[in-house]
Each structure stands twice: as C-alpha cells, then as structure tokens.
Structure 1
C-alpha cells in the first residue's frame, strides 16, 4: 500500500459503500483511470442508473460489458463528450441524460501539464477542460441535482477532483489569469509553464466546489485530491514534464498508487462517508482527511471564488 494511503485506512468500497438503490449517478472521464474504477465500484451497490462520459467509445463499450457481466441489474449509459468544447458538453448532456434527478455527480475527468494550446472555444486548454467543461456540465445538471436534493431524506453530492498541483497557481498573479483567458492567450510561460496552467485550473476546481456549496447548501459539494495515481494522466507524461513530476514525487517520498486505490478518496466522499461527516465546500485528501484548513495561497479566497463563478457564467452564456 502506498504511503499516501492514510486517514480512513480501512476504507473498502466493496464493504463500506451502502446500497445505492434508486440513485442516479454521473461520472466524467469514466472510460479510464479513476473514473472507470469509480463506475465499477458504484455498480456493485445497485444504483438505478450510471451515466459516464468520455471520448473513447470502444473503451466505453468494454466497460459496460464488464460491469453488466458482474452486475446484470445495473444499467449504464455512455455519453460521448469532449469537455474542452463547451458546445459539445451542452449538446451531449442535453441529448444523453434522460433522468429527471441526479444524486451523485463526480467531476472526475481532467488533463495535466499540456503544451500551450487553445481549446476549440479559444480558452487555454487545461482551464477549458478541467474547469469550464465541468462548469457547463454542472450548470446543465443543476436542476436535476436540486430536484433530488429537495426530496425528503435526500443526500445529493457533487465530487470534484483537484490536485496538490493547485499550488502552482501562486506563480500567477491573483491565482487565475482572467485577462489572459479572455484574450485567448495560450499562457506560454518560461518558468514551469505547463504546471502554472495546470495549477490555475486545479485552483478553479477548488473554488468552484466551495462556491457551489455556498450557493446551494442543500447539495453537498466537496473537492478531492486523489493523490498521485498510476493512471494514463501520469503514465503518458513525456519529457521534462515527466521528469519534473517523477523527481518531485521522489524527493517527498510519494509512491504512485494503483487506480483502484486512487479512486478510494473520491468514492469515500461520494458514497462511503456519512453525509453529516463531510464538510460542505471542503477539500479532502486520501482517504477522508479534511484538509480544508490547509489550503494555501488563493485556495480559501471566497472573493476569488465569487469572481470565478460570475466570470464562468458569462463565458457559458456565450455557448448557450
């Protein structure tokens, strides 16, 4: 077991997630890595339906066959979606989501340390994928989340993934470069550019989750750092980015976890933990450690969270 696994050390998704009968779940990035592991874990507890998104249709087909081979009573729907394209997100969720309620939304998908390029919508691609795409998705699913939340004895949760890499936002004045985002800049920086861009997108995940909790307290919204995990996000790194990541992990003694372990933290927050245990708007480390008070830099800046929310809403309106 990796030395990252601490806190709720005895968490076992197979035993500690209660029945999910009647629950409707959506997981982004469900065809690989932590998303795939989460879909498999949820399915073992008989939810009413699982939606999962991604871009790899053959991988989705394989996952559905695997899950239904073990849990024949569980139905799944793959929604093909490119989170870096806001129109794609809107069209995919509008056409693909068929239920009137949603109990668990896991904003899991993401990209890391990419070259300085723009999304199809002309936003820096990591910010577009990691934050704006999930903001669009959450916005369109909000009525379904609220419907479930307004029912008696409800327990509706939105789990968003972030990373300790959010701390690289401190290399950007103000934490998030709104002017650069608005101008269509690729934000090509000389000093740790890929990590600066990644850091501001992961900061946005933290602030968005906290602001969602403040605006809609009937929904439990938390943000999770899963740890360093041996998923394609890690294994497909190349060049300096890979060297920097591996060196940083080695210096602090981090051993990357396997995907099934890496999913524990988000699964604990999504379904394993009692609702009353979770801090709404909180930041969690593996597994079940409330690290909200440890957030650094702009990670606890409520004014910046409001600014990000309002700025994001203005962006999303352009693609409605």
Structure 2
C-alpha cells in the first residue's frame, strides 16, 4: 500500500512540472473524475483542463470552483453523450482543433443500472459502450496528441498517461465470451462487467505496445461515495444510501480517492514501455508481470496487480489480438462506415 502521506508528498511536487499541462477528464463533472480533476488543478501550474460530460449546470459550478482554486488554470467543458462513438469522435476533433498535445486522458464515464441491454442507435449496449468502447475510442483518437506530449524533450513537460477507472481485478479473474464479445446475444449486467474489464486490460496492453511513449493504467477505485447511484431511481437509491452508511468505515473518502488517482496519473514508477529501454529503474510491474511494460493494473491504494493464471492463459491464447480485432471492427462499422454494429 502507498501511504496517503506519500501520495500527498508526491502530488505536492507536481508544481515543479512545466506549466500548461493538458488533461482531458471524460466523466469529470462528478465522482472520482471530478475529485481527480480538482486535485490536478490544485497541484499543477496553469493546467488546461477539458471536462467532458452531459451536465452543463454542474460543469459551470465546477469551472467556477476550479478557477478560484487555481486562477492560472484554463477550463473547458464539452457537452456530449459519449455512449455514441460518433460523438466521441466529435469531442476528440474539437480537442485536436485546439491542442497539439494531451498529457493526461482520465476516464471514469459510466453509470449504474439494474436494467438489461439498452441498445443505442449504433447497435451497442449503452452501459457497455461507456465502460469499454467509448473509452478505447478516446484513447485511439487522442493517442497522437499523447505521443506529442511524450516526445517533449523537457522531462518536466513530457507526462503522457491514460487512466481508465473501472475494475482491474475483475479483468484478471474471468474470461470474456469470445464468440459474442459485444454481448448481442448473451447480455447480462455481470457479463457486461466481465467483458468491459477484461477487454479493457488487453486493449490497454495493445495500446502500450503501439504507443510505447505513453503509459496506460486500469485502476480499481474500491468503494467510493459518488453520484453514480442517481440514475437508479429513488427507491433503490435510498436503499443503497443506507447500505453505504453502514459500509462507510470501509469506503474510500472521495477526496482521498482523487488524491490517489492523481498519484496514479503522475507517479514515475508507472513508466511508459520505452522507459525500460532507457534503463530506468524502480518501475512497477505491468499486467504481464514485466517491469515497465507500460500497462498497469492498480488497486485503490496504489498497489500493482500482477499476472493471474486466467489472464496468462488468455494471453497465451491470443486474447489481445482477438479483442483488438473485434474492437477495430466495431469502430470501422460505426465510425468509418457511419453504420451500425
């Protein structure tokens, strides 16, 4: 476990980084995304922040708060429903028109639901799209800007990192159904969670190989009190609130979660893949147990999840390629052909 005191000591050093770091927070108007964005604004010099979400009113309040917290910050809100991949493309296009680099892509977008499959006009389940396909489309689209940031010769300006917050534990423990990766015919909330987490692990490994100057993290947040319960309705919401009160001693405070996720987003031990070739030491072990592999599965407390027998077996069977080939097919049909999967 990384002590909270060590997390705060590290975060306090971020003021020494070059001013003008660019960070994109997808799902940044509530919960962990908001809390991490607030810590990023608090601890960096003249950051440029993009918040991507659907709540314009909440975003306006957040921007006012962040501006007071750090008057040197630049803040933008992009309103979009990114459960649709074509909307993801539009958001990324807007960012690319304004920026030539991105130092951090931080994604928490998603929601809790007790409903079954809700198909979008693009042919994907909405929850599954938010938890996996949309996030990976953001990575694919913004990878060139992340690479530009990484190639800055100034070591105080070359932060280049992707953090996706979901459940890196589940992604190591259970295999997806390779005959129905999009869950057209086998959808359940459990299967959706398994597929999103497992597919994300292998796809982030793929990106770490394709973009070795950027590091990629799949983080498990543990229990954090956020606004994720709101869409579930008043009755279920009240029950879950009562349970949350009972579990409060075992949950992570929202501010602490933001601090810890900022640490995950900036700590040097989660180095990009190419850093290993430079002979750098003290790098963490990646998902495949290789130090400095560039793709890391993190626990809520900063500890690294190593390899699991299930993940090792899937990797040996070519899971990464099979999952990426499927993901590319989805992107091609929806985004390139303007169709439906």
- Specify if TM > 0.5: yes
Q: Paired residue for 1:61?
A: 60
* Equivalent position to 1:277, from 271, 283, 287: 283
| SS, match of residue 179 in structure 1 | coil
Q: Paired residue for 1:286?
A: 300
When residues 233 and 178 of structure 1 are mapped into structure 2, their CA distance, relative to the original with a 3 A threshold, is: farther
C-alpha distance in structure 2 between counterparts of 1:195 and 1:250, whole Å? 24
Q: Paired residue for 2:206?
A: 211
Preserved CA contact (<8 Å) 1:166 1:201: no
C-alpha distance in structure 2 between counterparts of 1:212 and 1:35, whole Å? 22
Task: Give the deviation of 1:177 after TM superposition.
Answer: 4.9
Cα-to-partner distance string for 1:230-268 (whole Å, 9 max, x where unaligned): 1122565567899899989989x9822222122233211
Task: Give the deviation of 1:290 after TM superposition.
Answer: 1.0
Q: Paired residue for 1:311?
A: 326
- Superposed counterparts of 1:116-131, under 5 Å: 116=116, 117-131=118-132
Q: Paired residue for 1:133?
A: 134
RMSD: 3.2
- Give structure 2 stretches of 5+ with no counterpart: 272-281, 285-291, 337-341
| SS, match of residue 180 in structure 2 | helix
Q: Paired residue for 1:158?
A: 162
Q: In the alignment, is residue 102 of structure 1 matched against residue 99 of structure 2?
A: no
Normalized against structure 1, the TM-score is what? 0.82
Task: Give the deviation of 1:41 after TM superposition.
Answer: 0.7
Normalized against structure 2, the TM-score is what? 0.78
Preserved CA contact (<8 Å) 2:167 2:218: no
When residues 200 and 249 of structure 1 are mapped into structure 2, their CA distance, relative to the original with a 3 A threshold, is: farther
Preserved CA contact (<8 Å) 1:208 1:305: yes
- Give structure 1 stretches of 5+ with no counterpart: 1-5
Preserved CA contact (<8 Å) 1:167 1:297: no
Q: Paired residue for 2:49?
A: 50
Q: Paired residue for 1:297?
A: 310
Cα-to-partner distance string for 1:55-97 (whole Å, 9 max, x where unaligned): 1111111111110012111001111222210111111221244
When residues 217 and 258 of structure 1 are mapped into structure 2, their CA distance, relative to the original with a 3 A threshold, is: same
When residues 215 and 178 of structure 1 are mapped into structure 2, their CA distance, relative to the original with a 3 A threshold, is: farther
Q: In the alignment, is residue 41 of structure 1 matched against residue 39 of structure 2?
A: yes
C-alpha distance in structure 1 between counterparts of 2:146 and 2:215, whole Å? 10
C-alpha distance in structure 2 between counterparts of 1:169 and 1:120, whole Å? 32
C-alpha distance in structure 2 between counterparts of 1:203 and 1:248, whole Å? 27
Preserved CA contact (<8 Å) 2:150 2:159: yes
Deviates more, 1:82-91 or 1:253-262: 253-262
C-alpha distance in structure 2 between counterparts of 1:146 and 1:51, whole Å? 18
| SS, match of residue 282 in structure 1 | strand
C-alpha distance in structure 1 between counterparts of 2:306 and 2:23, whole Å? 25
* Equivalent position to 1:29, from 9, 27, 52: 27
